[in-house]
Amino acid sequence: MNTLAFNRHKSGISVIMDILYFLWMLPSVWAVEEVLMDSTTATAELGWTTYPSQGWEEVSGYDENMNTIRTYQVCNIFNSSQNNWVRTKYIRRRGAQRIHVQMKFSVRDCSSIPNVPGSCKETFNLYFFESDLDKATKLYPPWMENPWVKVDTIAADESFSQVDLGGRIMKINSEVRSFGPVSHNGFYLAFQDYGACMSLIAVRVFYRKCPHIIQNGAVFPETLSGAESTSLVAARGVCVPNGEEVDVPIKLYCNGDGEWMVPIGRCMCKAGYEAVANGTVCKGKKECVNEFL
């Protein structure tokens, strides 16, 4: 290889390395989700607690793929002053500080129901209650806000009508809400109906972690996200073998959505070594030259 060709080749490698370094600086967008509870995996009755007895009812239903699942439904729209609750079983938090809840549900369009009273609703409420022990009973905690903590009022983007029922058209809504900080060993979730005709099709409870990653020449461990959506949890990196820190200690921050961001510092390969495999390995230059030849 003549000098000009070699220099061009070397220049091309430098450009590639610059691009790779820029990519190392970008945050990872793939959070790790650890599932704490998923109602769709139940092989028998869910057995959640309802109050009063004539409110929510557990039935077999279908998901959007027409798979049989266990669901809860309620439709007391012609009776005013509804206050129907259904409570999950105890859910252990497994060290998580912020909890995410995905709900899939369908709601009947009040305007499509003949002679429906004005008390008909198309929303429901989500609550949580923390506890170190699984000690809930039929009457404890009391079925009311405080001691239950309200997360949000959940509204449907789409509701279904009698025409949809006749055509067996599924209009399933999916909403995700989160809450924190949580500090007890576990918690319960509760869903309050106050006058809707609806089906709670699926509930998935999970938390997020930033994944194990090699970035900026350092290894970062899997890290739990913080208690708030705006939390940034610092994680110290360890340089890959034959690498060393430059200027400042290397860190990444795990945000509330389980994504790495705000890189600080970096590791560079020691003298006689160079970065290969997207910066995950510091390889001896003699080895690199031998492979090139």
Domains of the chain, residue spans: 33-208, 211-292
Among 262, 186, 259, 183, which Cα is nearest to 224's?
259
- Give residue 287's pLDDT: 57
In whole angstroms, give the CA distance from residue 85 to residue 200: 12
End-to-end alpha carbon distance in the chain: 11
The reported pLDDT for the residue numbered 64 is 74
**What are the residue ranges in the chain where pLDDT is below 50?**
3-29, 163, 166-167, 289-293
Q: Which fold has domain 33-208?
A: Jelly Rolls (2.60.120)
Q: What is the pLDDT of residue 171?
A: 83
Q: Return the CATH class of domain 211-292.
A: mainly beta
Whole-number pLDDT of residue 110: 92
For residue 223, give the amino acid letter.
T
Burial 160-179, CB ≥16 within 10 A → b, else e: beeebeeeeeebbbeeeebb
Question: What pLDDT shows up at residue 158?
Answer: 85
Nearest CA to 46 out of 90, 88, 95 is that of 88
Q: What is the pTM of this model?
A: 0.81
Helix (H/G/I), strand (E/B), else coil: 204? strand
Identify the pLDDT of residue 170. Answer: 66
Gyration radius (Cα) of the chain, Å: 27
